[in-house]
C-alpha cells in the first residue's frame, strides 16, 4: 500500500521525463527534466534513477533496474505521464509525484482509477515544483541548485508561484525548512493527508499552509484541530474577495468559500491566520524558536528611545499590553544604572553594552508581571557591538517559558547582529512592529494550547 | 541674519569638540568628535575647520582662520558648548548644529538668549546626529563612513534612534536621500522651519517626518497644508497610546497629544500618515518616483497565479478596486496569447518574457478603466529573466500619468531584478502587499492634490 510518507522519504527514486520534447509551461520540457535531475543527483541522499523517454540522457528501463524505486517523479505530457505511471505501478512503485499540469478531467479520472487499482499514493498532477525534504535531500523542483537549509518549518502550498516565492524567501533569509509540498490538482493526496503526515513528522515543529480553497473542509478542520494542540499551524489564505476568489477558482480548480466562513473554521481548528508571505515566514520562525506566551504583558528593553516608543505603539495595535514592571524590578534597575528610567519601555540609553543588557534582561524576565520580552539593540547612534548580542540567548535560556524576540532595527545593523544570533533560538526582526507581531502570534498560540 | 539654509548649505564649517574629554553618551566624546571629523573631511565638498579644545588634533583658533565659517558644529558638554558657540557668534558664525545633549533648562535659556542677541540659527541642542546633505556632502553624524546615496527624499527626525535606523535603512536598501535633520531639543529651528526650508529645496521631492510631539501645532499644520500641495509629506508618529505617549514626553521633552487629534490635524494638512519605518521608506520611494493615482482602479499583470491573487486581496484590504478591463483590452490580450485569461488579475502564465510583458502592459496602461498597474515578475518557477524587466520602465514612460509599481516577489528574485531596475523610476517591492500599499499612498496623494 502506498503511503504519503513514501512521497517524502523514499530510499530510491526514478525521474521520468524527456530530453527532447518541445518546451511548454506546465508541461514537460527538457530543461525542467534536466534541472530536476541536477537537483536530485546533487541533494538526494538516496539512489536516483533516470528514465529518459528519448533515451538521450539515460536508456534505463524499469525492468532493467536492480531494484524497484519507491517513488516515481513524472514530468511528461499528461497521456505519456499516465502511461509511464501505469508501467511503474505494475513494476511495484508505490508513490508518485506528478509534476506536469494540463490534465483534462478524463485524464485525471484515468490516473485516479489506476491509483485505486494499484493502491498507490499520488501527489498532483500539476504540482509543478513537487516536494522538498531537507532531511534526506529529496528535491524535485526545477529551480537548479536551490535548497533551503535544514530546520523545522514545513510548508504546504496550493500555488506554484506562492510556493516558489516561499522557497526563494526561505533560501535568501536563511529560514530552516523541514519539508515543502506543492499540492497541485490533488486527485489523491490532499491537505488533510499532508497535515496528518507533517503532524507526525519529527523534523517538523511548525506547519505553514498557503491555500486558496479547501477540499474536504470538515475533515481538514477536524485534523487541524488535533494537530494544532501539538504543533502550531499557520495559514495564508489567498482569494479573500469575491473577485479574487473567482480568480482562485480558475487558478487551482478549488472552490474558494466566503472569507468569513474560512475565518470561523480556522479559529475552530486552532489555526493561526496571517495576511502576507512575510508574516507567514516571520511568524513561523517565532513559533519554531520560542515558547507560546502565557499572558498579554510585554516588556521592551532598548538602547534607543524612538524605536522603543514605536514598539510600544505596536504592542497596543496588536492588543497586547505594556507590562507594569514590579517596583522591585524598577528599583533594582535604576539603582544599578544611574540615568536609566526603568518604566516600560525601558530605555537603557545608548551606552548600554552586553553587561547592562544581561542584567536588565535577567531582572525583567524574572518579573512575574512580564509574559514576554522585546529587545531592541541598535548599533547606529549607540555603543552596542554585534558580539554584545550573545548575552540575549544566554539570559533567555534561564527563562524557557517566556518568549523573547530581538530587534536590531534597520538594514546593516540587522545583518551584523543576525550573523551573531542566527544559529540561536532568538528570532530576529529588522523592525519593532514585526517583532511585536511575533509576540502576538506566540500569545495567540498560547491561547490555542490553553483552550484544549 | 542666520538662515535655516545655512545649516544645510554652508561653504565652510567648523567642528568644535575635544580629543581628550571622558566619553559619555549624549555628551562630548573623543570618538564622536573624531567620527564627525572623518565624515566631514571625507564627504563635505566645502572647507572643514577643526577646533579641538584640547589642542591635540588641531590648534586652530577662531581668530586665526583665514575666513569666518558659516556653520559651527559643536559637540562639547553644555557649558563649554555654549561658551564656544558665543565665541563663534562674536566672530560672525551665523548657523549652529549643537550635537550634544544633557542641557538643563537654564542652559537652554542661555543659548536661546545668545541666539537672539546675535541673530543666528541653531539646530538642537541634543541633535546627536545633526544634519546630512547629499548634495554638498555635509555630514555631521558620528556614524563613520555612512552616507546615503543622492536622491530626492528628505527626512526630519525627532528621535536619534529612529533617525539612525532610517539612515541605516536608506544606506542598506539604497534609498536616494536629499537631506536628513535630527531636530533634538528645538530651542530655535523646529519642524516648521525645516518644513519651510525643505518645501523650497529643489533637491527634495518628498518630505518624511518622524515625530513624537508637536511644537507650534497650528503653524505646523498651516505650513504643511501649503507644502503638501507641491510635495507629499509623510509622517510616522511615535507614541499613539497614553503609555507610550508618556514615554515620548520624557524622551524628547515634547507633549504628545491625543492620537485622534493628530490624525485630524494630519488630514487637514494633507499629510499622509504611515505606521512603520518600512512603510515610511517604501511609500517615500513610491511618491518620489511615480505620479499620484487619479482613480481607484488597479490592474495586476503577473506571470504567476498565487501572488497575483494575494495582490488582489491587498487591493481590497486597501480600499482600492480591481479594474474592470475594457472588452477591447481583454480581447486584444487573449487573441495575442492563447491560454492567457485577461480578466484582472491577469495571469500571463509562467513562460511570459519581455515581449509579452511589454505588449500586455501597453494594452493595460492604455485602458481608460485602469488608474494604476501592479506588475509581478517572479523568476523562480517561471521563465522570466532579470533583463526582461527592462521593458517595464520603457512602457511606463509612455504613460507618465499612471503609476506603475513592480513586484519581483521573494528574496533572491527581488535582488536580481533590483539590480536591473534600481536606477529607473519604477519602485520595486519584494511582496505584493507592499506594492499595493504604495499604490494606495499614491492614490491618497492624488486625492490630496485634487482637493486643493
DSSP B230-255: TS-EEEEE---SHHHHHHHHHHHS--
**8 Å CB contact of B244 and A345:** yes
Q: What is the pLDDT of residue B255?
A: 45
Cβ atoms of A132 and A138 closer than 8 Å: yes
Shortest CA gap B316–chain A (Å): 7
**8 Å CB contact of B277 and A309:** no
Q: What is the pLDDT of residue A258?
A: 78
**8 Å CB contact of A381 and B157:** no
Treating both helix axes as pointing N-terminal to C-terminal, what angle do A191-200 and A217-227 enclose, rounded to 10 degrees?
A: 10
What whole-number distance in Å separates Cα of residue A71 and Cα of residue A94? 6
**8 Å CB contact of B240 and A349:** no
**8 Å CB contact of A165 and B410:** yes
**8 Å CB contact of A158 and B306:** yes
Q: Which residues of A touch B240 (CB under 8 A)?
A: 313, 316-317
Shortest CA gap B103–chain A (Å): 14
**8 Å CB contact of B251 and A305:** yes
Of B313, B410, B430, the CB nearest to A240: B313
Chunked mean pLDDT (size 10), chain B, 452 residues? 94 95 73 95 97 85 90 95 96 96 94 97 94 98 95 95 96 96 94 96 98 88 96 95 60 60 93 97 98 98 96 95 97 92 92 96 98 97 95 98 97 96 96 98 96 54
Shortest CA gap B138–chain A (Å): 18
Q: Which residues of A touch B305 (CB under 8 A)?
A: 159-161, 247, 251-252
Of A172, A244, A317, the CB nearest to B313: A244
- From residue A398, how far is each of A360, A375, B135, B387 by CA, in Å? 14, 16, 51, 51
Q: What is the pLDDT of residue A59?
A: 77
**8 Å CB contact of A241 and B167:** no
Through-space distance between the first and last CA atoms of chain A, rounded to whole angstroms: 34
Treating both helix axes as pointing N-terminal to C-terminal, what angle do A78-91 and A105-118 enclose, rounded to 10 degrees?
A: 0
**What ipTM does this complex have?**
0.94
**8 Å CB contact of B160 and A238:** no
The alpha carbon of residue B85 and the mean position of all alpha carbons in its chain are separated, in whole angstroms, by: 30
Q: What average pLDDT does the structure give for chain A? A: 93
- DSSP designation for A136: T
Residue B178, phi then psi, degrees to nearest 5: -95, -60
Whether A196 has a pLDDT exceeding 70, the answer reads: yes
Q: What is the pLDDT of residue B261?
A: 86
Mutate to test the interface with B, among A158, A410, A432 (most CBs of B within 10 A): A410
Cβ atoms of A20 and A78 closer than 8 Å: no
**8 Å CB contact of B305 and A160:** yes
Q: What are the b/e assignments for A173-207, b being 16+ CB within 10 Å?
A: bebbbbbbbbbbbbbbbbbbbbbbbbbebebbbbb
Residue pairs spanning A and B at CB distance below 8 A = 249
**8 Å CB contact of A307 and B159:** yes
Mutate to test the interface with A, among B36, B148, B168 (most CBs of A within 10 A): B168
Cβ atoms of A290 and A253 closer than 8 Å: no
Cell 577662531, residue located: B62
What whole-number distance in Å separates Cα of residue B7 and Cα of residue A203? 59
Cβ atoms of A76 and A88 closer than 8 Å: no
What whole-number distance in Å separates Cα of residue A163 and Cα of residue A154? 12
- From residue A290, how far is each of A143, A209, A275, A293, A325 by CA, in Å? 31, 20, 21, 9, 22
> What residues form DSSP beta bridges with A425?
none
Q: What is the pLDDT of residue B251?
A: 56
Cell numbers describing residue B41: 573631511
Cβ atoms of A107 and A51 closer than 8 Å: no
Cell numbers describing residue A306: 524612538
What whole-number distance in Å separates Cα of residue A199 and Cα of residue A197? 5
Q: Do the strands B321-322 and B346-347 form a parallel or antiparallel pair, or are they unpaired? A: unpaired
Residue B162, phi then psi, degrees to nearest 5: -65, -40
Shortest CA gap B164–chain A (Å): 6
Shortest CA gap A451–chain B (Å): 30
Number of C-alpha atoms within 13 angstroms, CB side, residue A370?
Answer: 29
Q: 3-class SS at B327?
A: helix
- From residue A143, how far is each of A34, A164, B117, B303, B336 by CA, in Å? 10, 9, 70, 16, 29
Of A167, A313, A413, the CB nearest to B168: A413
Residue of A nearest to B350 (CA): A25
Mutate to test the interface with A, among B100, B184, B305, B377 (most CBs of A within 10 A): B305
> What residues form DSSP beta bridges with A300?
A374
Q: What is the pLDDT of residue A26?
A: 62
Residues 6+ apart with CB under 8 A from A208: A153, A154, A155, A156, A166, A233, A234, A235, A236, A280, A281, A284
Shortest CA gap B77–chain A (Å): 16
Cell 512602457, residue located: B395
Mutate to test the interface with A, among B307, B410, B413 (most CBs of A within 10 A): B410
Q: Which residues of A touch B413 (CB under 8 A)?
A: 165, 168
What whole-number distance in Å separates Cα of residue A385 and Cα of residue A198? 40
Residues 6+ apart with CB under 8 A from A166: A155, A157, A180, A208, A210, A277, A280, A281
Going from the N-terminus, what domains does chain A have, and what CATH number goes with each? 1-126 (3.40.50.720), 148-289 (3.40.50.261), 291-451 (3.40.50.261)
Residue B285, phi then psi, degrees to nearest 5: -60, -45
Shortest CA gap B265–chain A (Å): 19
Shortest CA gap B168–chain A (Å): 6
The model's pTM: 0.94
Q: 3-class SS at B433?
A: helix
Residue A157, phi then psi, degrees to nearest 5: -125, 130
What whole-number distance in Å separates Cα of residue B155 and Cα of residue B194? 10
Q: Which residues of A touch B276 (CB under 8 A)?
A: 310, 431, 433
Residues A242-287: tens digit of each pLDDT: 655 565 555 554 445 578 889 999 999 999 999 999 999 999 999 9
Mean pLDDT of A344-353: 93
Shortest CA gap B1–chain A (Å): 32
> DSSP string spanning B140-188?
--SSTT--PPEEEEEEEES-HHHHHHHHHHHHHTT--EEEEEE-TT-SS
**8 Å CB contact of A306 and B161:** yes
Cell numbers describing residue B108: 537652554
**8 Å CB contact of B169 and A275:** no
CB atoms within 10 A of CB A425: 14
Q: Which residues of A touch B340 (CB under 8 A)?
A: none
Residues A68-106: tens digit of each pLDDT: 999 999 999 999 999 999 999 999 999 999 999 989 999
Cβ atoms of B282 and B437 closer than 8 Å: yes
Cell 505521464, residue located: A81
With cut-offs at 50, 70 and 90, classify the pLDDT of residue A451: low
Q: What is the pLDDT of residue A24?
A: 67
- DSSP designation for B399: -
**8 Å CB contact of A168 and B411:** yes
Treating both helix axes as pointing N-terminal to C-terminal, what angle do A306-317 and B160-172 enclose, rounded to 10 degrees?
A: 90
SS (HEC) of B4-65: HHHHHCCCEEEEEECCCCCCCCCCCCHHHHHHHHHHHHHHCCCEEEEEECCCCCCCCCHHHC
Q: What is the pLDDT of residue B24?
A: 67
As to burial, measured by CB atoms within 10 angstroms (0-12 exposed, 13-18 middle, 19+ buried), residue B149 is exposed
Q: Which residues of A touch B162 (CB under 8 A)?
A: 304, 306-307, 310
Mutate to test the interface with A, among B177, B247, B430 (most CBs of A within 10 A): B247
**8 Å CB contact of A238 and B341:** no
Of A161, A313, A381, the CB nearest to B241: A313
What whole-number distance in Å separates Cα of residue A440 and Cα of residue A317? 10
**8 Å CB contact of B161 and A378:** yes
Of B158, B240, B380, the CB nearest to A316: B240
Q: Which residues of A touch B168 (CB under 8 A)?
A: 380, 409-413
Determine which helix (DSSP H) or strand (DSSP E) holds A17, and give its type and residue range: strand A12-17
> What residues form DSSP beta bridges with B358?
none
- From residue B254, how far is each of B61, B215, B217, B247, B397 by CA, in Å? 37, 7, 11, 10, 45
Amino acid at each position: 500500500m502506498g503511503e504519503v510518507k513514501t512521497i517524502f522519504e523514499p530510499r530510491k527514486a526514478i525521474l521520468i521525463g524527456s530530453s527532447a520534447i518541445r518546451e511548454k509551461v506546465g508541461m514537460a520540457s527538457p530543461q525542467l527534466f534536466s534541472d530536476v535531475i541536477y537537483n536530485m543527483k546533487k541533494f538526494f541522499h538516496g539512489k536516483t534513477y533516470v528514465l529518459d523517454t528519448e533515451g538521450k540522457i539515460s536508456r534505463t528501463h524499469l525492468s532493467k533496474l536492480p531494484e524497484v524505486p519507491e517513488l516515481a517523479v513524472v514530468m511528461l505530457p499528461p497521456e505519456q505521464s499516465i502511461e509511464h505511471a501505469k508501467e511503474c505501478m505494475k513494476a511495484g512503485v508505490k508513490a508518485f509525484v506528478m509534476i506536469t499540469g494540463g490534465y483534462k478531467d478524463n485524464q485525471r479520472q484515468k490516473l485516479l482509477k489506476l491509483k485505486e487499482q494499484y493502491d498507490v499514493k499520488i501527489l498532483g498532477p500539476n504540482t509543478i515544483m513537487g516536494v522538498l525534504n531537507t532531511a534526506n535531500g529529496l528535491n524535485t523542483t526545477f529551480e537548479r541548485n536551490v535548497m533551503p537549509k535544514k530546520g523545522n518549518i514545513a510548508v504546504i502550498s496550493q500555488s506554484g508561484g506562492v510556493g516558489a516565492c516561499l522557497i526563494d524567501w526561505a533560501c535568501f533569509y536563511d529560514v530552516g525548512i523541514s519539508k515543502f509540498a506543492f499540492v497541485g490538482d490533488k486527485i489523491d493526496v490532499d491537505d488533510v493527508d499532508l497535515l496528518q503526515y507533517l503532524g507526525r513528522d519529527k523534523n517538523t515543529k511548525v506547519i505553514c499552509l498557503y491555500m486558496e480553497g479547501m477540499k474536504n473542509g470538515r475533515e481538514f478542520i477536524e485534523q487541524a484541530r488535533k494537530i494544532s494542540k501539538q504543533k502550531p499551524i499557520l495559514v495564508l489564505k489567498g482569494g479573500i474577495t469575491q473577485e479574487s476568489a473567482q480568480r482562485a477558482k480558475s487558478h487551482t480548480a478549488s472552490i474558494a468559500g466566503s472569507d468569513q466562513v474560512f475565518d470561523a473554521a480556522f479559529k475552530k481548528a486552532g489555526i493561526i491566520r496571517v495576511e502576507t508571505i512575510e508574516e507567514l515566514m516571520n511568524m513561523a520562525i517565532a513559533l519554531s524558536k520560542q515558547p507560546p506566551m502565557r499572558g498579554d504583558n510585554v516588556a521592551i528593553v532598548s538602547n534607543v528611545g524612538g524605536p522603543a516608543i514605536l514598539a510600544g505603539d505596536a504592542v497596543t495595535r496588536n492588543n497586547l499590553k505594556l507590562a507594569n514592571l514590579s517596583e522591585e524590578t524598577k528599583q533594582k534597575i535604576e539603582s544599578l544604572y544611574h540615568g536609566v528610567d526603568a518604566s516600560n519601555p525601558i530605555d537603557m540609553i545608548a551606552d548600554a553594552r552586553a553587561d547592562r543588557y544581561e542584567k536588565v534582561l535577567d531582572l525583567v524576565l524574572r518579573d512575574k508581571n512580564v509574559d514576554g520580552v522585546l529587545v531592541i539593540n541598535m548599533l547606529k547612534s549607540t555603543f552596542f557591538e554585534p558580539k554584545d548580542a550573545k548575552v540575549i540567548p544566554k539570559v533567555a535560556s534561564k527563562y524557557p517559558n517566556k518568549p523573547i524576540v530581538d530587534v536590531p532595527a534597520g538594514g546593516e545593523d540587522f545583518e551584523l547582529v543576525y550573523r551573531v544570533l542566527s544559529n540561536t533560538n532568538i528570532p530576529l526582526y529588522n523592525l519593532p512592529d514585526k517583532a511585536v507581531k511575533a509576540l502576538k502570534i506566540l500569545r495567540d498560540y498560547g491561547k490555542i494550547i490553553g483552550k484544549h
